[in-house]
Amino acid sequence: MTEELLCCRGLGKQFGHKVALAGVDLSLGRGRIIGLLGPNGSGKTTLIKLANGLLTPTRGEILINGEVPGPATKAVVSYLPDASYLPSWMRVRDLVNMFDDFYADFSADRAVEMLSTLEISGAERLKHLSKGTKEKVQLVLAMSRQAQLYLLDEPIGGVDPAARDYILRTILQNYSAEATVLISTHLISDIEPVLDEAIFIQNGHILLHRPVDDIRETEGKSVDEYFREVFKC
Amino acid sequence: MLRKLLKYEFLATARVFGVCYLGLAALSILAGLSMKFPATSNNIVGVLMLMAYVCMLAAVMLFTFLTIIRRFYKNLLGGEGYLMNTLPVRSWQLVTSKLIASLAWSAASLVMAALSFALLTIAAVPTFSLFWEDLATVWDVLTYPPAYFELTTGFSFWLFLLEVLLLLLVDGISSICLLYTSCMVGHQFRRWRVAASIIVYFLISFLVSALLDVLPGNASAQQIFALADNISLAVNIQFWRLILVDVVLGTIYFAVTAYLLEKRLNLE
């Protein structure tokens, strides 16, 4: 695999007059955990949705393994959206079966194991689960895949601190060494310990993309502190 | 992949349609039974039940129509679109799975409607012996038309039936695909997407019917009528003209839908 995993060239997305992304150039390598960090409305979700083919670029292009988002890229990208997106009438075990049906890299055994650790019954319908439990189910499904690229949009946003720890540990334990995990969040202090690289994004512009160690050495502070400094209101 | 999509499409819709059909069957039997026992000369209950049955029948047809739209709009362009559009499948496969399921439910609803009417008449028959006599009559009535048809038109009834069914099928396909195209074109607008979809639907319907009026096929059909001493041939030609038009339209609507879903998706 000699192509870049994810590459944006002059990527722009506009919604009417609102510019969500403005000429983004980005390149993601393999085998690292990257934080996509920015305040609300900075373009994090837009970038991730473009990578999944859920939005059409207004300008430029976004490529995964050198290809435009399509069935081939969707087979190797595992996406965890910010919102609830699974059919609420389905039972948890139906969803496991569905993911198993469609994704060749999905491990039903791993999913069942994680669900039982979290004490989530397979027979429950999604609509009867609490918001936090639903989010855990979504995360388990996303992380039970052996994908090349994981795109996690605010995976710990609405979840209690104990569950947050579990989620981060799950992410670390379940992704393969050659895969890249892109975590978009504004809760930096929680995920900073697991990050290899950080991308700062504001108003649709990429401000920086550097290794986390580099930031700490050069700026002499944690990424969280540096973030607060850069995005000071 | 298409088979898997179909599996989940039917899983999502089977329960709700099953309940509808059971309700319709139950109501038709009740309505039939209530007509069997006239308590007074004015059988209020029977009339009310019959009215309820007719309403239920209309409701089931409306429900089928709305479900066809809802399954496309909500599942592909709503929140569930985040799941469906990130599956490793082609957009034409997504559209085809919806189309096949929609056709299946349309056919099922029509069959259920006929069946429920049969149930109603069976339940309404006063005595059992009369029931068997009725059945014999029904059979005679059903088998009479083919013979009569062939006698008067010199045209095979079964071929005619086949053409009617084929026309129903391609008309169903093109009608459903038009609904999908309207959804996808409406989706291209940033705001008022639902209103846009509805307007687009009526606009396309109007334009297409206007176009078909102008199309040469119409005039030449009349000419054929004048020329053909064989009426059945003229009818035949008309059928095939309609079938062809629907095939062309259906293909265009399908292609536009699949293209917009693949290249012009903007889920918010």
Asked if A51 contacts A45 with a C-beta cutoff of 8 angstroms, the reply is no
pLDDT of residue A165: 82
Mean pLDDT, residues A131-155: 92
Using a CB-CB cut-off of 8 Å, the residues of chain A touching B12 are: 87, 89
Window 1-40 of A, Cβ < 8 Å to B: 15-16
Q: Which residue of chain B has the CA closest to A13?
A: B266
pLDDT digits (tens, 9 = 90+) for B165-178: 999 999 999 999 99
Structural domains of chain A in order of their starting residue, each with its CATH number: 6-231 (3.40.50.300)
Tens of pLDDT, residue by residue over B189-201, are 988 999 999 999 9
Residue A201 makes CB contacts below 8 A (sequence gap 6+) with A36, A37, A38, A42, A43, A44, A47, A207
Q: What is the pLDDT of residue B218?
A: 56
Rounded Cα distance between A44 and A154, Å, is: 9
pLDDT on residue B220: 56
β-strand A149-153 against A6-15: which pairing, if any? unpaired
Contact A56, B266 (CB under 8 A): yes
Between CA A131 and CA A137 the distance in angstroms is: 10
Whether residue A58 is predicted with pLDDT greater than 80 in this model: the reply is: yes
Categorize the per-residue pLDDT at B151 as very low, low, confident or very high, splitting at 50, 70 and 90.
Answer: low
Q: Assign A190 a pLDDT band (cuts: 50, 70, 90).
A: confident
pLDDT grade, residue B77 (50/70/90)?
Answer: very high
DSSP assignment of B51-96 equals HHHHHHHHHHHHHHHHHHHHHHHHHHHSTTHHHHTTSSS-HHHHHH
pLDDT given at position B33: 82
Asked whether the predicted pLDDT for residue B102 surpasses 60, the reply is yes
Inspect the interface and report whether the beta carbons of A71 and B90 lie closer than 8 Å: yes
| Interatomic CA distance for residues A111 and A105, integer angstroms | 12
CA A203/CA A24 separation, integer angstroms: 11
Collapsing DSSP states into helix, strand and coil, what is residue A6? strand
Place of tokens 């047809």: B61
Mean pLDDT is lowest, of A109-123, A127-141, B232-246, for B232-246
Q: Which of A220-224, B105-109, B140-144, B254-258 shows the lowest per-residue confidence on average (mean pLDDT)? A: B140-144
Average pLDDT for A106-130: 93
Mean pLDDT score of chain B: 86
Give the separation between CA B18 and CA B168, rounded to whole angstroms.
24
Band (B128; pLDDT cuts 50, 70, 90): low
User: Whole-angstrom Cα distance, residue A25 to residue B10?
Assistant: 43
Q: What is the pLDDT of residue A204?
A: 94
pLDDT band at B221 (very low <50, low <70, confident <90, very high): low
Angle ∠(A99,A104,A110) on CA atoms, nearest 5: 60
Q: Identify the band that residue B118 occupies on the pLDDT scale cut at 50, 70 and 90.
A: confident
pLDDT above 90: residue B148: no
Query: How many CA atoms within 13 Å lie on the side-chain side of B111?
Result: 7
pLDDT category at A116 given cuts 50, 70, 90 is: very high
Would you call A91 helix, strand, or coil by DSSP?
strand
DSSP state of A77: E
The residue-averaged pLDDT of B47-64 equals 92
The reply to whether residue B82 touches residue A72, judged by beta carbons under 8 angstroms, is no
- Take residue B29 and report the two structure tokens written for it: 């039997």
Report the pLDDT value the prediction gives residue B111, as an integer from 0 to 100: 94
The mean predicted confidence, pLDDT, of chain A is 92
Report residue B133's pLDDT band, with 50, 70 and 90 as the boundaries: confident
List the strands of the sheet with A6-15, edge to edge: A18-28, A6-15, A59-64
- Determine the pLDDT at residue B130: 63
DSSP for A23-64, written as a single string:
EEEEEE-SS-EEEEE--TTSSHHHHHHHHTTSS--SEEEEEE
Does the structure show a pLDDT above 90 at B181?
yes
Residue A22 contacts residue A73 (beta carbons within 8 Å): no
What integer pLDDT is reported at residue B34 of this predicted model? 80
Res. A93: pLDDT tops 80: yes
Q: What is the pLDDT of residue B230?
A: 63
Q: How many residues does chain A have?
A: 233
Interface test mutation site (partner B, options A15, A18, A56, max chain B beta carbons within 10 A): A56
The complex's ipTM works out to 0.93
Chain A closest-CA separation from residue B90 CA (Å): 6
Average pLDDT of span B176-183: 97
First to last CA, chain B: 26
pLDDT above 90 covers what percent of chain B?
A: 59
For chain B, give every domain's residue range.
1-124, 155-268
d(CA A75, CA B88): 5
Confidence check: pLDDT of B80 > 90: yes
Strands A59-64 vs A77-80: parallel, antiparallel or unpaired = unpaired
* Dihedral angle computed from the Cα positions of residues B246, B249, B254 and B259, in that order, rounded to the nearest 10 degrees: 170
Q: Say if CB B57 and CB B31 are below 8 A apart.
A: no
Mean pLDDT of B13-34: 91
State whether residue A74 sits within 8 Å of chain B by CB: yes
pLDDT reading at B182 higher than 70: yes
The verdict on a CB contact (< 8 Å) between A87 and B83 is: yes
H-run or E-run covering A205: strand A205-211
Put simply, whether A56 touches B (Cβ < 8 Å) is: yes
| Chain A interface, best mutation among B7, B13, B82, by max A CB count within 10 A | B82
Of the candidates A78, A35, A17, the one whose C-alpha atom is nearest the C-alpha of residue B190 is A17
Residue recorded with tokens 């192509």: A3
pTM higher than 0.80 for the full model?
A: yes
What is residue B266's predicted lDDT score, i.e. its pLDDT? 95
Q: What is the pLDDT of residue B228?
A: 55
Residues of A in Cβ contact (< 8 Å) with B190: 15-16
Quote the pLDDT of residue B158: 77
* pLDDT recorded at residue B156: 73
Beta-carbon separation of B87 and A74 below 8 A: yes
Confidence of residue A160 (pLDDT cuts 50, 70, 90): confident
